[in-house]
């Protein structure tokens, strides 16, 4: 059906919608699915195609595969569905408002879909799916959960976050990577006090200089970050929510870069940013409780944050980024694949191809070299 | 976990050796090389580690290095204190390894 629909879409939108409406109506022909429902189904199947006609295959992030199963089943079983169920489904599950969304419209002169993205060409360029990570040069197979996690993290970095846009998040990641070879950072790290060395970080910066400095300090000299330094950053105008999200992006980039360095390959290429606005949702349950930043206590993780923590003991490291819950979710995903699943950390028998003792020795040595007390 | 004895001072390089862990000395050397800036040394250490570990175990080692470069920075950048339960469990170890000398110990009152 999708290939037929695409072919008809190429011929014209109104006829494609009309064909689709007929094709997805009950086979018995006793009723036609209401237009809003048709449009919502069309969106599920064709949104990807609308934004990137060059993309083949079903959008893996959509409901399309499941929807097609349902549509085909309903068509063949329409006569057996209770009429009340069919009526309620059409009335309540259609769901596309073509008149009041406020979206930029480019009305089809023939009165077709009515709401069409006017930025299709631009979105096609920047909204492509995140590619699989490039491990060129690795002479070992990378296990599938790591590949999936790296793709997830790259997608997470490129997407609009809670406070930063996708463009800004990619810029933060780029700054984190650049810190690894920054001369100012090297000079500061070698100095008795990082504050004794003045200068400008290497390279051209898309972010304000003070933000770049924060990223570079976290990446290159985390052991000497202090409460005084943090207070100065916040007093300088960086909102604490933006700071926490910046910490998430900076550190996740560092983790992938160190993995690449350890494996012996170039850092994974950063993707093009994805469009869209940050959510700007601050969790009300986040409070100051002994750390520099507000955190959500496990007992207060409810509603939208109910999924943040599992059962049992939740260490502060898993709460540290909870002012920006999506960064916690990203950290969990990262930890699950790079270490052991978070829920199994307390289990001393949890292991991978390395045994647990080897994993812990390596982890502890890395942390000692980073001079991380925690 | 295995019932054996481990000399944790290998973590802070106070002593050399395996620390009671199979290939422990090599894993420590690998961590040193990845965290350092000598690419030739890293390449040599990587080759040695690859020769003794399975491909899967080698990838695990690289993943661990990545993981703890994340969490170390998160901890230090957010000023989180060591959890009281963990602090109680690790007092002897922290003292033996001299971890109170790390600047970030200031984030844990009484560390």
pLDDT tens digit string along A204-223? 889 999 999 999 999 999 99
R_g (Cα) of chain A, nearest Å: 25
Any A CB within 8 A of B16 CB: no
Same domain (yes/no): B98, B62: no
Contacts of B89 in chain A (CB under 8 A): none
Find the closest chain A residue to B23 by CA distance: A358
Q: What is the pLDDT of residue A94?
A: 37
Find the closest chain B residue to A372 by CA distance: B72
> Measured between CA atoms, how close is B3 to chain A, in angstroms?
11
Q: Does B106 contact A316 at a Cβ distance shorter than 8 Å? A: no
Same domain (yes/no): B68, B38: yes
Q: What is the pTM of this model?
A: 0.74
Question: B-contacting residues of A 179-198, CB under 8 Å?
Answer: none
Residue with structure tokens 């595969």?
Answer: A65
Residue with structure tokens 């930063």?
Answer: A164
| Tokens, residue A374 | 């925690």
Contact (Cβ atoms closer than 8 angstroms) between residue B26 and residue B52? yes
Please report the number of interchain residue pairs, chain A to chain B, with beta-carbon separation below 8 angstroms: 242
* Spatial CB neighbours of A216, under 8 Å, sequence gap ≥ 6: A175, A176, A178, A179, A182, A184, A185, A201
Any A CB within 8 A of B87 CB: no
Q: Does A225 contact B106 at a Cβ distance shorter than 8 Å? A: no
Q: Does A365 contact B32 at a Cβ distance shorter than 8 Å? A: yes
Same domain (yes/no): B41, B31: yes
Q: What is the pLDDT of residue A247?
A: 98
Any A CB within 8 A of B30 CB: yes
Q: Does B77 contact A140 at a Cβ distance shorter than 8 Å? A: no
Please report which residue ranges of B53-83 form alpha helices under DSSP H.
55-78
Q: Does A316 contact B102 at a Cβ distance shorter than 8 Å? A: no
Same domain (yes/no): B25, B74: yes
Q: Give me the mean pLDDT over the B36-53 stretch.
A: 96
Same domain (yes/no): B70, B102: no
Contact (Cβ atoms closer than 8 angstroms) between residue A291 and residue A302? no
Same domain (yes/no): B13, B29: yes
Contacts of A259 in chain B (CB under 8 A): 62-63, 65-66
Contacts of A330 in chain B (CB under 8 A): none
At the top level of CATH, the class of A144-279+326-332 is mainly alpha
Q: What is the pLDDT of residue A226?
A: 95
| Tokens, residue A162 | 């809670």
Among A143, A144, A147, A145, residue whose Cα is nearest residue A134:
A147
Choose among B28, B60, B77: nearest Cβ to A352.
B60
Q: Give me the mean pLDDT over the B55-84 stretch.
A: 96
Q: Give me the mean pLDDT over the B79-107 stretch.
A: 82
- Domain layout of chain A by residue ranges: 2-126, 144-279+326-332
Among A46, A52, A45, residue whose Cα is nearest residue A127:
A52
Same domain (yes/no): B62, B90: no
Q: What is the pLDDT along chain A (374 residues), one digit of tens a residue?
A: 776 777 777 667 777 777 777 777 765 545 566 777 777 777 777 776 666 655 545 555 666 555 555 555 555 555 555 655 554 444 443 333 333 333 333 333 333 333 333 444 444 444 567 888 989 999 999 999 999 999 999 999 999 999 999 999 999 999 999 999 999 999 999 999 988 899 999 988 899 999 999 999 999 999 999 999 999 999 999 999 999 999 999 999 999 999 999 999 999 999 999 999 999 999 999 999 999 999 999 999 999 999 999 888 899 999 999 999 999 999 999 999 999 988 888 888 889 999 999 999 999 999 999 988 88
Domain count within chain B: 2
Contacts of B63 in chain A (CB under 8 A): 146, 259, 337-339
Contacts of A254 in chain B (CB under 8 A): 69-70, 73
A170 C-beta neighbours (distance < 10 Å), count? 23
Phi, psi angle pair for B50, to nearest 5°: -60, -30
Q: What is the pLDDT of residue A60?
A: 56
Any B CB within 8 A of A365 CB: yes
Among A254, A319, A219, A310, residue whose Cα is nearest residue B78:
A319
R_g (Cα) of chain B, nearest Å: 16
| DSSP-derived 3-state class of residue A295 | strand
ipTM of the complex: 0.90
Please report the sign of the dihedral spanned by the C-alpha atoms of residue B48, residue B53, residue B56, residue B62.
negative
Q: What is the pLDDT of residue B80?
A: 95
Any B CB within 8 A of A146 CB: yes
Among B80, B93, B75, B86, residue whose Cα is nearest residue B8:
B93
Same domain (yes/no): B38, B63: yes
Answer left, alpha or beta for residue A29, where phi above 0 means left and psi between -120 and 50 means alpha. left
DSSP string, A31-64: ----HHHHHHHHHHHHHHHHH-TT--S--TTSSH
Among A229, A251, A267, residue whose Cα is nearest residue A328:
A251
Angle at A328 between CA A286 and CA A179, to 5 degrees: 110
Contact (Cβ atoms closer than 8 angstroms) between residue A156 and residue A330? yes
Any B CB within 8 A of A148 CB: no
Any A CB within 8 A of B44 CB: no
Domain carrying residue B110: 79-111
* Spatial CB neighbours of A68, under 8 Å, sequence gap ≥ 6: A1, A2, A45
Contact (Cβ atoms closer than 8 angstroms) between residue A164 and residue A172? yes
pLDDT tens for A52-94 read: 655 545 555 666 555 555 555 555 555 555 655 554 444 443 3
DSSP string, A67-118: HHHHHHHHHHHGGGS-HHHHHHHHHHH----SSSS-------TTS-S----T
Any B CB within 8 A of A237 CB: no
Same domain (yes/no): B66, B84: no
Any B CB within 8 A of A309 CB: no
Q: Give me the mean pLDDT over the B40-53 stretch.
A: 96
Same domain (yes/no): B87, B70: no
Q: What is the pLDDT of residue A186?
A: 92
B74 compared with B5, residue with greater pLDDT: B74
Q: What is the pLDDT of residue A98?
A: 32
Q: At what angle do helices A325-338 and A240-263 cross, to 10 degrees?
A: 20
A96 C-beta neighbours (distance < 10 Å), count? 18
């Amino acid at each position: 059906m999708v290939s037929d629909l695409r072919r008809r879409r190429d011929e014209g939108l109104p006829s494609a919608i009309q064909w689709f409406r007929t094709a997805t109506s009950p086979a018995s022909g006793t009723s036609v699915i209401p237009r809003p429902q048709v449009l919502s189904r069309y969106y599920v199947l064709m949104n990807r195609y609308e934004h990137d006609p060059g993309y083949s295959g079903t959008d893996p992030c959509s409901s399309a595969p499941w929807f097609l199963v349902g549509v085909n089943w309903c068509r063949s079983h329409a006569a057996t569905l209770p009429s009340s169920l069919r009526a309620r489904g059409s009335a309540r599950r259609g769901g596309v408002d073509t008149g009041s969304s406020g979206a930029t419209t480019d009305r089809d002169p023939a009165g077709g879909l009515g709401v069409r993205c006017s930025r299709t060409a631009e979105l096609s360029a920047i909204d492509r799916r995140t590619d699989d990570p490039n491990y060129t040069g690795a002479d070992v197979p990378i296990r599938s959960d790591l590949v999936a996690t790296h793709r997830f993290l790259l997608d997470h970095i490129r997407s609009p976050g809670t406070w930063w846009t996708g463009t800004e998040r990619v810029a933060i990641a780029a700054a984190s990577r650049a810190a690894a070879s920054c001369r100012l950072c090297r000079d500061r790290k070698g100095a008795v006090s990082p504050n004794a060395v003045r200068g400008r970080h290497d390279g051209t910066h898309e972010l304000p200089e003070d933000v770049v400095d924060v990223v570079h300090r976290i990446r290159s000299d985390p052991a000497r970050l202090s409460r005084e330094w943090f207070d100065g950053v916040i007093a300088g105008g960086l909102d604490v929510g933006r700071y926490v999200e910046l910490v998430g992006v900076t550190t996740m980039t560092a983790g992938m870069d160190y993995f690449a360095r350890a494996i012996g390959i170039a850092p994974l290429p950063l993707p093009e940013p994805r469009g869209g606005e940050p959510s700007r949702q601050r969790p009300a349950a986040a409070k100051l409780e002994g750390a520099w930043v507000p955190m959500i206590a496990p007992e207060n993780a409810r509603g939208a944050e109910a999924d943040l923590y599992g059962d049992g003991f939740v260490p502060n490291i898993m709460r540290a980024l909870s002012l920006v819950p999506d960064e916690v979710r990203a950290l969990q995903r990262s930890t699950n694949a790079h270490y052991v699943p978070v829920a199994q950390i307390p289990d001393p028998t949890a292991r991978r191809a390395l045994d647990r003792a080897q994993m812990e020795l390596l982890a502890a040595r890395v942390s000692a070299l980073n001079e991380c007390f925690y | 976990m295995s019932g054996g004895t481990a000399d944790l001072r290998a973590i802070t390089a106070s002593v050399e050796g395996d620390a009671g862990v199979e290939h422990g000395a090599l894993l420590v050397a690998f961590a040193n090389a990845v965290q350092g800036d000598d690419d030739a040394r890293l390449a040599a250490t990587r080759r040695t580690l690859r020769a003794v570990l399975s491909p899967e175990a080698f990838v695990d080692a690289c993943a661990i290095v990545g993981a703890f470069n994340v969490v170390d920075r998160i901890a230090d950048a957010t000023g989180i204190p060591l959890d009281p339960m963990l602090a109680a469990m690790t007092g002897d170890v922290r003292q033996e390894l001299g971890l109170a000398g790390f600047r970030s110990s200031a984030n844990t009152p009484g560390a």
